[in-house]
Amino acid sequence: MEILHSKILGSGQPLCILHGFLGMADNWKSLGNRYATSGFEVHLIDQRNHGRSFWSEDFNYSLMAQDLKAYQDYHGIQSANILGHSMGGKTAMQFACDFPERVEKLLIADIAPKYYPPHHQQIIDALLKVPLEELSSRGEADKQLALHLSDWGIRQFLLKSLYWMEPGKLGFRFNLQVLRHKMEEIGEEAGGGCLFGSQSLFVRGDRSEYIADADIPMIRMYFPDAEVETIDKAGHWLHAENPEQFFQVTQKFLNS
């Protein structure tokens, strides 16, 4: 089985961090360094079809939970704290349900276990319209994306995955051709109604609609020991929009 690519920072109790849809491990580098300096061995992990990890036609949360187990086995990790954002949060929830003995504490950033209808189509369409073979710089790629995506922050997030595949040839690190057909799988409910009894923290942005008050009973049905915290002045990318409060809240939970 292929092993997920990662960057490992620091030493201490393992903390595995899983990025969101179309993201990569590098999105968490700044916070990862902070967790590392506070006593954790931080594993910034690229999930399948993202970052520097392997590409596959197969893509669902059960498989991605198995990927994380194989990663832990390969690195000799018996159990770890697991932090996942958005799609990574769904993977983390599935992993906690499938392999509860491999989880110390579970941290979920701005996602509930419920089903979400596909809602990334505008981003996918914009990416598909970027003529990569004609571009010679990141700036040109941004100009092309801007024709279809007005949000500067989302464009910068996507452009982090742009790289030189070879001299003169740009490409994205995420597997767009597979992911464009997996919108339904990405929105799927995670955990399938399991019961995970260990400590859990769900963190949401006060400007995000991903975890509504109405979702909290479902969260506590599957994760009965769950705490829910709200990060101020933050939307769905709460760890990037208010990293200080996000770090303080999650660090307190990890050390509790």
For the stretch 211-242, pLDDT in tens is: 999 999 999 999 999 999 999 999 999 999 99
Q: How confident is the model at residue 247 (pLDDT cuts 50, 70, 90)?
A: very high
**What's the Cα-to-Cα distance from 201 to each of 28, 37, 75, 161, 190, rounded to whole Å?**
18, 21, 25, 29, 16
**Residues 118, 124, 125, 128: is their CA dihedral positive or negative?**
negative
Question: Does pLDDT of 39 surpass 80?
Answer: yes
Determine the average pLDDT of the residues in 11-35. Answer: 97
How far apart, in whole angstroms, are the C-alpha atoms of residue 229 and residue 240?
16
- Select the more confidently predicted residue: 64 or 151: 64
pTM above 0.85, yes or no: yes
How far apart, in whole angstroms, are the C-alpha atoms of residue 75 and residue 161?
25
Q: What is the pLDDT of residue 192?
A: 77
Which of 39, 238, 103, 41 shows the shortest CA–CA distance to 247?
A: 238
The tokens for 247 are 């770090």
Question: Does pLDDT of 198 surpass 90?
Answer: yes
Structural domain boundaries of the chain?
Answer: 6-115+188-255, 121-179
Q: How confident is the model at residue 253 (pLDDT cuts 50, 70, 90)?
A: very high
Percent of the chain beyond pLDDT 90? 93
Q: What is the pLDDT of residue 1?
A: 82
Tell me what percent of the chain is helix, strand and coil, each rounded to the nearest 5.
Answer: 40, 20, 40
Neighbours of 30 (CB within 10 A): 12
Question: Does pLDDT of 29 surpass 90?
Answer: yes
How far apart, in whole angstroms, are the C-alpha atoms of residue 239 and residue 220?
23
Determine the average pLDDT of the residues in 27-52. Answer: 98
Within 13 Å of residue 96, how many CA atoms lie on the same side as its CB?
Answer: 35
DSSP-H helix ranges across the chain: 29-37, 61-74, 87-98, 121-128, 138-146, 152-159, 176-179, 183-187, 216-222, 238-241, 243-255
Q: How confident is the model at residue 191 (pLDDT cuts 50, 70, 90)?
A: confident
Q: What is the pLDDT of residue 168?
A: 86
Reported as a single tens digit per residue, the pLDDT across 49-106 is 999 999 999 999 999 999 999 999 999 999 999 999 999 999 999 999 999 999 999 9
Q: What is the pLDDT of residue 155?
A: 93
Q: C-alpha angle with apex 76: 71 to 77, nearest 5 degrees?
A: 75
If you count them, how many residues does the chain have? 256
Domain 6-115+188-255 has CATH 3.40.50.1820: yes
Q: Is 153 helix (H, G, I), strand (E, B) or coil?
A: helix
Determine the average pLDDT of the residues in 145-150. Answer: 94
Contact (Cβ atoms closer than 8 angstroms) between residue 107 and residue 80: no
Q: How confident is the model at residue 12 (pLDDT cuts 50, 70, 90)?
A: very high
How far apart, in whole angstroms, are the C-alpha atoms of residue 133 and residue 141?
10
User: What integer best gives the mean pLDDT of the chain?
Assistant: 96
